[in-house]
A and B are shown apart, each in its own frame.
Chain A
Amino acid sequence: MSAHSHVDGQLPHEPEKATLEGRNKVLGFWLFLGGETVLFGTLFAAYLALRNQVGDGNPTSQELFDLGLVAVATFILLTSSLTSVFAIQAMHKNQVKPMLIWLAVTVLLGLGFLGLEIYEFVHYVHAGHGFTTSAFSSSFYTLVGFHGAHVAFGVVWITILIFQVLRKGLNVVTAPKVYVAGMYWHFIDVVWVFIFTVVYLMGKVG
């Protein structure tokens, strides 16, 4: 089972781990995710320290947050995590078309999530909650906005991957890229679990 025989021939089981390059890509991505954990952890720590630092008349988290909207956003992102699992499962069965469809569904759900977040932020700004309004608002927008930027990046990334697989097919070179993008998407959902818990739900409790 040499790596070369897979490029044009039949795809091996778990094609993302068939070559040394693929295995290194996955390992390197895990180290990257460790670094991302620290990045988001820093922003969470800053938010936790500043979340009650609100000036007179500025909106607090209890007044501001709309849990209905957050619940819908959470549902969309959780569902997109499931559809990206289906994409990887289709990849493992060497079913290129279902894989691409599931990836496209994931991208669409990601866009839906971004739309909701943009609507939410616009709504907050109109409610007098700008980026520089208070220490709470700055740390809130930095943390939640950074997560939104990650979702936007993931949407662009997976869209480009869809086009690459359409052009070059699914092989031991493209499979690790799809696998790693799937890991990234799950990580984004993991971060969101903490955002809806720590920022929105705990912010509503007070």
Chain B
Amino acid sequence: MSSNHSASEQQGRRHKVEGPQKHIIAYVFSLVLTLLAFATVIAGEVNTMFTYILLIVMAGIQVYIQMAFWMHMKDRGHMYAIVGILTGVFVVFTMVVMAEYWVWW
């Protein structure tokens, strides 16, 4: 985890405050993904398995946007955050696989 603050920024005392543009882009991108997901299902007539995979991938991208940009996980010093959430995701993945394939064996 290397520091992304350059020496000049440290000396300049005032940190750069990020503008809203980046977040508005992330918002619009999330909206488009949501619309695509709903449109895929409403249009129907697509292979069910393909639809499932497409929906999961689009949800994954949206979650990445939320966590990386809006919850600042991409910023430095979020090692424990990433480890904590990934541990949770690992447990969840195990449980979902169990529920899908083991309960109705």
- Note whether A and B form a binding pair: yes
Chain A residues close to B by CB (< 8 Å)? 13-14, 27, 30-31, 33-38, 40-42, 44-46, 48-49, 67, 71, 74-75, 78-79, 81-82, 85-86, 89, 92-93, 183, 186-187, 189-190, 193-194, 196-198, 201-202, 204-206
Interface string of B47-67 (1 = CB under 8 A from A): 010011001101100110011
Q: Are B67 and A190 in contact (CB under 8 A)?
A: yes
Size bin of chain B's contact surface = 35 or more
Within 8 A of A (CB), among B18-55: 18, 20, 23-24, 27, 30-31, 34, 37-38, 40-42, 44, 48, 51-52, 55
A31 to chain B, nearest CB (A): 5
Q: Are A190 and B66 in contact (CB under 8 A)?
A: yes
Q: Are B88 and A75 in contact (CB under 8 A)?
A: no
Q: Would you list 6 pairs from A and B whose C-beta atoms are within 8 A, ordered by A residue? A: A34-B85, A45-B95, A48-B99, A78-B31, A196-B37, A197-B37
Q: Are B95 and A34 in contact (CB under 8 A)?
A: no
- Bound complex: CA of A161 vs CA of B44, how far in Å? 44
B27 to chain A, nearest CB (A): 5
Main secondary structure of the interface of B (DSSP, over half): helix
Residues of B contacting A79 with CB < 8 Å?
Answer: 27
* Contact of A45 with B99 at beta-carbon distance under 8 Å, contacts A85-B70, A193-B66, A194-B59 already known: yes
- Bound complex: CA of A197 vs CA of B41, how far in Å? 10
Q: Are B84 and A49 in contact (CB under 8 A)?
A: no
* Contact of A186 with B70 at beta-carbon distance under 8 Å, contacts A49-B103, A78-B30, A205-B51 already known: yes
Candidates A44, A190, A206; contact of B63 at CB < 8 Å: A190
8 nearest A-B pairs in the assembled complex, by CB-CB distance: A41-B92, A37-B88, A34-B84, A49-B99, A45-B99, A45-B95, A30-B81, A34-B88
B82 to chain A, nearest CB (A): 9
Q: Are B30 and A34 in contact (CB under 8 A)?
A: no
Residue of B nearest to A201 (CB): B41
Q: Are B85 and A30 in contact (CB under 8 A)?
A: yes
